Amino acid sequence: MSTVTITDVAKHVGVSVATISRHLSGFTVRNEEKIRQAIIDLNYRPSAAARNLKSGRTGIIAIVVPDITNPFFASIVEGAEGAVGEDRMILLVNTGDSRQREEKALAQLFGRVDGVIMAPLTEDEEGPSFFSQFGLPIVFVDRVTQDGEKFSTALTDNAKGATIATNHLIALGHKKIAMISGPLSTTPGKKRADGFKASLKESGLPCQYFIESDFSEEGGYAAMSALLEREDAPTAVFTANNLMTIGALHALRDRGVAVPNQISIIGFDDLDFAELINPPLTVIARDARLQGALAMELMIKQLTNGASTQPEHSMVDVQLVERGSCAPPREMQTIAFNKVDR
């Protein structure tokens, strides 16, 4: 079946293509009733490009994330989708942790979307000029470039979350506390590491079990394996994201290390199945869906108010969810057991 064009509608009514175009753009023209009836009779569907010629808008907002397999980013997208409204659509782009794919995606999105919500893969000195060159409204979520004040952001209180996690382990009596960190070149990686180190310093504990990893399950597995191979292994570990937590738990299982009797573990970001793990996982939780919704609200505000919109910065709070994966260190448990025996 051939596609009906605007020319077909014009011929059917006996008017010019320009008249039909003006009618579709909302202007008053002659023969409006005939035009409306012709559109119905011919089942004409104007293309998105034609509908948006006057407004310059596509009605599409892109969400660019580095790893859609990460439950956190999936929740970000879900939250943004819930806040986008009925007049706009979301286009999801997964860069697969590739800077080259990220650059290519932004270049291809220019002119095809109204704006971009993204978690930038890199936040180095080249980042600011790189993002600015596209001229697209951009809202950063979870991560931000060095000149982040120029862009609206929806972030998490990462340092606070790491501080809460570390202080929780310290309060349980742990002195040999490790951290499996994300890349320090990223906002969450650096801020969570800062919170961890600050808590140790305030408590007078050395930072001797710090490993920088890559926010992946494989990275968490390798880092936990390295910690377990040390002669003076830590008694507690803070993992800086959910995928690394999963990897670390696999490493503990493969080596027969009992949680929390032999080692305590606390992760940043909750997991849907965290309560089903044996023992249930203690985490620093945040509302990732809310974070995605806030990013979308900031984007819609930019699109509504135009280029004069001043950047805004939203911060999602964090909280400790205590379950069963953290306990006093083994030597303190032994003392407690001895006291009970007496």
Same domain, 77 and 169: no
- Which tens digit of pLDDT belongs to each residue from 222-231? 999 999 999 9
**What torsion do the CA atoms of 152, 157, 162, 167 make, to the nearest 10 degrees?**
160
pLDDT below 50 — which residues of the chain? 1, 53, 334-342
- Which tens digit of pLDDT belongs to each residue from 115-147? 999 998 877 656 555 666 666 789 999 988 776
> What is the CATH classification number for the domain harbouring 44?
1.10.260
Whether 128 is covered by a domain: the verdict is: yes
Same domain, 137 and 186: no
Tokens 């997964």 sit on residue: 94
> What does the alpha-carbon distance between residue 23 and residue 227 come to, in Å, rounded to a whole number?
69
Same domain, 22 and 171: no
Whether 99 is covered by a domain: the verdict is: yes
**What torsion do the CA atoms of 241, 245, 246, 251 make, to the nearest 10 degrees?**
140
Same domain, 121 and 185: no
- pLDDT at position 183: 93
- pLDDT at position 39: 87
Tokens 């191979």 sit on residue: 229
> Domain range spanning residue 133?
60-155+288-316
Same domain, 180 and 302: no
Whether 1 is covered by a domain: the verdict is: no
Is 252 within 8 Å of 271 (Cβ atoms)? Answer: no
Same domain, 209 and 146: no
Same domain, 333 and 212: yes
- pLDDT at position 335: 39
Same domain, 166 and 200: yes
- pLDDT at position 121: 80
Structurally, the chain folds into a number of domains equal to 3
